[in-house]
Amino acid sequence: MITQQQQQQQIDQYHDQGFLLIEDIFTKEEIHLMNKELPSILEDDSPRKVKESNGEIRSYYGAHQVNDIYKRLSSKKKLIDPVMQILESKVYIHQTKINFKKALRGEWWEWHQDYPYWKIEDGMTSPRVISVMIYLDDVTEFNGPLMVIPGSHKSGIASFDDKQKFTSNVEKATWTGANLKYTIDRSILKKGFEEDNVISVPGKAGSALFFHGNIFHASNCNISPFDRKTYIVTYNSVNNVLDRVEKERPEYLSERDVTPIIPLDDTTFYTQLENSI
């Protein structure tokens, strides 16, 4: 248990740096449960499953919509409480994805911000949104940890599409592959690198990395012999409405039902689990 003062320090750190790593937020048993579900989730051959250019699985979108363990673990109180505290409101899940980054095969993620995608593709009105990356494996310096530029979330939107401006290109709206649509310009990135202000965020399986919708982030290829699987849940404030857009993306990329999550405590989670076995 942490004290109220420590909790406030964590929240202040998040607001200042744009990210926060909390270790041991999930138990070994919970991580095992999530990993055990993966083969059955991946039997699905729908567009939710996205491949790398080398044929490996890159991502699976919306696991919480098709799998009960993922659904319930995404609602756990220990995740939702800090998220609600940071966003100062009730929240719902806008999007989830499992990123696989397989040993010696997993590819990179270019430097980008997430919020521009949600603003342009989904009509999200403000960056009052937070993603939580849950580490399903140990994440090390060598298997492609997330890299961030601390404080960059304060720059607002700094990403551009390949024409150096925002265009809502409906054809590309469901693009989920390795060549990202909105990336950060080299000149903007140079500043972060020159000021020696780029860090990676390794951590043990069970850690959770909370990060702001506008933080600059990227990750390298996995050149280690160990997989680096993570589950990313994006929580949006129920007050941060999605405006109408010309063409709505499918629900596995953009949820429009804003019913607030009811946080699940451990007792409820394990009772439900026993009942479902």
Q: Which residues bind ligand AKG (CB under 6 A)?
A: 99, 109, 114, 144, 146, 217, 219, 230, 232
Going by C-beta distance under 8 Å and a sequence separation of 6 or more, which residues neighbour residue 40? 67
Toward ligand AKG, which CB reaches closer, 17 or 230?
230
Cβ closest to ligand AKG, residue 90 vs residue 96: 96
Minimum CB separation of residue 228 from ligand AKG in Å reads: 8
Residue 62 or 144: the one with the smaller Cβ distance to ligand AKG is: 144
DSSP output for 178-199: SS-SSEE-HHHHHHHHHTT--E
CA angle, corner 30, sides to 26 and 32, nearest 5? Answer: 120
Residue closer to ligand AKG by CB (options 144, 192) is 144
**Residue 82 or 145: which CB sits closer to ligand AKG?**
145
| CB of 186 vs ligand AKG, minimal distance in Å | 18
Nearest approach, Cβ of residue 106 and ligand AKG (Å): 8
Q: Which long-range contacts (CB under 8 A, 24 or more apart) does 36-44 make?
A: 37/63, 37/67, 37/69, 37/70, 38/98, 38/229, 40/67, 41/66, 41/67, 41/70, 41/98
Strands 208-212 and 19-22, by their bridges, are antiparallel
DSSP classification of residue 139: B
Residue nearest to ligand AKG (CB): 219
In the complex, minimum distance from the CB of residue 32 to ligand AKG, in angstroms, rounded to a whole number: 21
In whole angstroms, the minimum distance from the beta carbon of 146 to ligand AKG comes to 5
Reference 130, options 18, 7, 245; nearest CA is: 18
Residue 24 CA to residue 92 CA, distance in Å, equals 23
Q: Would you say 53 or 271 has its CB closer to ligand AKG? A: 53
Rounded to a whole number of angstroms, the minimum distance from the CB of residue 51 to ligand AKG is: 15
- Helices (H), ranges, 145-218: 186-194
